[in-house]
Structure 1
Amino acid sequence: MTTARRDTYTPETLLDVAVRVFNERGYDGTSMEHLSKAAGISKSSIYHHVTGKEELLRRAVNRALDGLFAILTEERARSGRAVDRLEYVTRRTVEVLVAELPYVTLLLRVRGNTDTERWALDRRREFDYEVAELFKEAVADGDLRSDVELRLATRLLFGMINSMVEWYRPDSRGAANAGEVADAVVQLAFTGLRTDR
């Protein structure tokens, strides 16, 4: 006599599976059938936890975005000279990316094909705007070079950070930890951006 496998998934563990499958297959290339096979549970069991794959996507990208926006509320991101706050936000962004690597990877791959993706892109732009404002303030304070166009500097900085989703693997031998990577990013970026005082 065989017994049916009991659904031991929680919304959080199901989300982990969905993020892995979305990152492997792409959101558009993932069906509920793919998710149920990856989780080893029926589609109806998934629907017990969520309304569908777009809800899983929203939860996943929201987790990454909440991590990023939480940085902006931290004390060191809100007080002190703008350049120091910007360095802090840069460092913490790397740390959040490492801590939430699959979720941030998914966030960076959304293209705006669904309402959830468009919402996520809008929130990402809002975060980028907040960081650009810090850049602007640091330039006005005379702490960052004014001869580098602001939007370009912001894009280059976040291009460097966001590229980590393509190569950083914390479980590989010899991989730098989050602190080491954050130190390297801050040193490389701000050595070139700070004014000589």
Structure 2
Amino acid sequence: MPAEAVPAEPAAKRSPRPSGRDTYTPESLLAVAVEVFIERGYDGTSMEHLSRAAGISKSSIYHHVRGKEELLRRATARALDGLFAVLAEPAARRGRAVERLEHVIRRTAEVLLAELPYVTLLLRVRGNTRTERWALERRREFDRRVAALLREAVAEGDLRADLDARLATRLLFGMINSVVEWYRPQPDVPSDASSGSPDGERITETVVRLAFEGLRR
């Protein structure tokens, strides 16, 4: 892990936002809301903040959603649905457990990078609302299913038996999830050894190699 996390840029500097109700869709409104939630924290965000960030009136926001908690629900559901979809993929359901586990870890890292703002928000919920508690429970369920897969791989003799499966799962996801604190996608910038921001494929393969070179017998 790096010595210090790179601070996120203010939402207003990251990307231009459309102005006017006619240019907004539920999807684009959600993207703006996620930026503001990450920047200000969910509890610190009001509908007024969302209105100013989006450049539309509060009544226009209510045209799309019932309130900010619905936006939080949609955003965290997008991240969680991506993670649970990994468990349903054929490569995560067939074959030796260690091969399925490696597939899940690789794809989890890919989902994180593909849905970076949404996963970042998911990792920052604290359980203060019904939606946050729902999101936390789904995260725990995902972790439990991965831990069960890891225990299965140990039982088949492919992974080290001297590791606690639950702890190993937490450490694996701790490594993967730390990416949200420092990775900043840089479109149109070559991603090589000298680049300040490695590309997603290189990050994913490094995560898998670090994890499985330590886990395999």
- What TM-score do the two structures reach when normalised by structure 1? 0.95
Contact 2:21 2:60 in 1 (8 A): no
Offset of residue 179 of structure 1: 1.6
**Runs of at least 5 residues in structure 2 that lack an aligned partner in the other structure:** 1-18, 190-194
RMSD of equivalent CA atoms: 1.3
> How many percent of aligned residue pairs carry the same amino acid?
74
Give distance in 2, aligned partners of 1:183 and 1:139: 22
Over residues 63-92 of structure 1, what are the superposed CA-to-partner deviations in whole Å (9 max), with x where a residue is unaligned?
A: 000000000010100111100100000000
**Amino acid in structure 2 at the alignment position of 1:84:** E
Q: 1:154 to 1:5 in 2, by over 3 A?
A: closer
- The answer to whether 1:165 aligns with 2:180 is yes
Matching residue's letter, 2:90: E
Q: Size of the alignment, in residue pairs?
A: 192
CA distance in 1, matches of 2:178, 2:57: 36
Q: How does 1:148-187 map to 2 (within 5 A)?
A: 148-171=163-186, 173=189, 174=195, 175-187=197-209
SS at match of 1:143: coil
**For residues 76 and 92 of structure 1, what CA distance do their matches in structure 2 show?**
10
2:116 aligns with 101
Taking the aligned partners of 2:127 and 2:64, their CA distance within structure 1 comes to: 25
What whole-Å deviation, never above 9, does each CA across 1:68-123 have from its counterpart, x for those lacking one? 00000101001111001000000000000000000000000000000000000010
TM-score by length of 2: 0.86
SS state at 1:7 partner: helix
| Correspondent of 1:47 among 62, 65, 86 | 62
3-state SS, counterpart of residue 22 of structure 2: coil
Q: Determine the C-alpha separation between the residues in 2 that align with 1:7 and 1:53.
A: 20
2:215 aligned residue (168, 193, 196) = 193
Deviating more after overlay: 47-56 vs 167-176: 167-176
Q: What SS does the aligned partner of 1:165 have?
A: helix
2:126 to 94, 111, 120: 111
Q: Which runs of 5+ in 1 are unaligned?
A: none
Deviation (angstroms), 1:176: 2.0
Q: 112, 126, 142: which is aligned to 2:157?
A: 142
